[in-house]
Amino acid sequence: MLRFILGKLTYLIPTFIGITIVAFGFVRVLPGDPVLLMAGERGVSPERHAQLMAQLGFDRPIWEQYLDYLWRLMHGDLGTSLITKKPVLTEFLTLFPATLELGLCAILLATLIGIPAGVLAAVKRGSWFDQLSMGTALVGYSMPIFWWGLLLIILFSGILQWTPVSGRISLLYYFPPVTGFMLIDSLLSGQKGAFASAVSHLALPTIVLATIPLAVIARQTRSAMLEVLGEDYVRTARAKGLPTGRVVGLHALRNAMIPVITTIGLQIGVLMAGAILTETIFSWPGIGKWMIDSIFRRDYPAVQGGLLLIAGMVMVVNLIVDMLYGLINPRIRHK
Amino acid sequence: MSNATLPAETSSGAMRRRALADFWFYFSENRGAVIGFWIFVALALVAIFAPLLAPHDPTQQFRDALLTPPVWQEGGRPEFILGTDAIGRDILSRLIYGAQYSLFIGVVVVSIALVGGIIIGLIAGFFGGWIDTVIMRVMDVILAFPSLLLALVLVAILGPGLTNAMIAIALVLQPHFARLTRAAVMSEKNREYVIAARLAGAGRLRLMFKTILPNCLAPLIVQGTLSFSNAILDAAALGFLGMGAQPPTPEWGTMLAEAREFILRAWWVVTFPGLAILITVLAINLAGDGLRDALDPKLKRS
The pLDDT value given to residue B5? 45
Global ipTM: 0.86
Q: What is the mean pLDDT of chain B?
A: 86
Assess whether pLDDT exceeds 60 at residue A153. Answer: yes
Burial A311-327 (b: 16+ CB within 10 A, else e): bbbbbebbbebbeebbe
Assess whether pLDDT exceeds 50 at residue A88. Answer: yes
Per-residue pLDDT tens digits for B59-68: 888 888 788 8
The answer to whether the Cβ–Cβ distance between A138 and B302 falls below 8 Å is no
Per-residue pLDDT tens digits for B243-277: 888 888 899 999 999 888 888 888 889 999 999 99
The pLDDT value given to residue B151? 92
Mutation site, A147, A268, A287, interface B, largest B CB count within 10 A: A147
Q: What is the mean pLDDT of chain A?
A: 85
The pLDDT value given to residue A264? 87
Q: What is the mean pLDDT of residues A183-205?
A: 84
Q: Which residues of B touch A (CB under 8 A)?
A: 32, 137-138, 140-141, 144-149, 152-153, 156-157, 229, 233, 236-237, 240-243, 253, 256, 260, 263-264, 267, 270-271, 273-274, 277-278, 281-282, 284-286, 289, 302
Contact A92, A308 (CB under 8 A): no
* Residue at A329: amino acid letter: N
Of B141, B148, B264, the CB nearest to A276: B148
Reference A100, options A271, A266, A307; nearest CA is A271
The pLDDT value given to residue A41? 62
Reference B229, options A313, A254, A138, A32; nearest CA is A138
3-class secondary-structure state, position A204: helix
3-class secondary-structure state, position B217: helix
State how far the Cα of B276 lies from the Cα of B270, in Å rounded to an integer: 11
Contact B176, B223 (CB under 8 A): yes
Share of chain A above pLDDT 90, in %: 33
Q: What is the mean pLDDT of residues B87-99?
A: 91
Per-residue pLDDT tens digits for A295-321: 888 888 899 899 999 998 888 888 888
Per-window interface: A 275-334 vs B, CB < 8 A: 276-277, 280, 291-292, 295-296, 303, 307, 310-311, 314-315
The pLDDT value given to residue B71? 82
A–B: how many Cβ contacts below 8 A?
123
- Which residues lie closer than 8 Å to A150 by C-beta, 6 or more apart? A281, B256, B260, B263, B270, B274
State how far the Cα of A160 lies from the Cα of A153, in Å rounded to an integer: 10
Assess whether pLDDT exceeds 60 at residue A335. Answer: no
How many CB atoms neighbour CB B213 within 10 A? 18
Q: What is the mean pLDDT of residues B161-188?
A: 91
Task: Give me the domains of chain B, ranges plus CATH numbers.
Answer: 43-295 (1.10.3720.10)
A227 touches chain B (CB under 8 A): no
The pLDDT value given to residue A188? 81
Share of chain B above pLDDT 70, in %: 94
Determine the distance from the C-alpha atom of residue B269 to the mean position of all C-alpha atoms in its chain, rounded to a whole number: 25
Q: What is the distance in angstroms between the Cα of A147 and the nearest Cα belonging to chain B?
A: 6
The pLDDT value given to residue A322? 79
Assess whether pLDDT exceeds 70 at residue B70. Answer: yes
The answer to whether the Cβ–Cβ distance between A22 and B145 falls below 8 Å is yes
Cα torsion A16, A18, A21, A23: sign: negative
pTM of model > 0.90: no
Reference B241, options B141, B168, B144, B143; nearest CA is B168
The pLDDT value given to residue B302? 38
Per-residue pLDDT tens digits for B222-239: 889 989 999 999 999 999
Task: Give me the domains of chain A, ranges plus CATH numbers.
Answer: 32-77 (no CATH), 89-332 (1.10.3720.10)
Q: What is the mean pLDDT of residues B17-39?
A: 85
Q: State the DSSP code for B49.
A: T
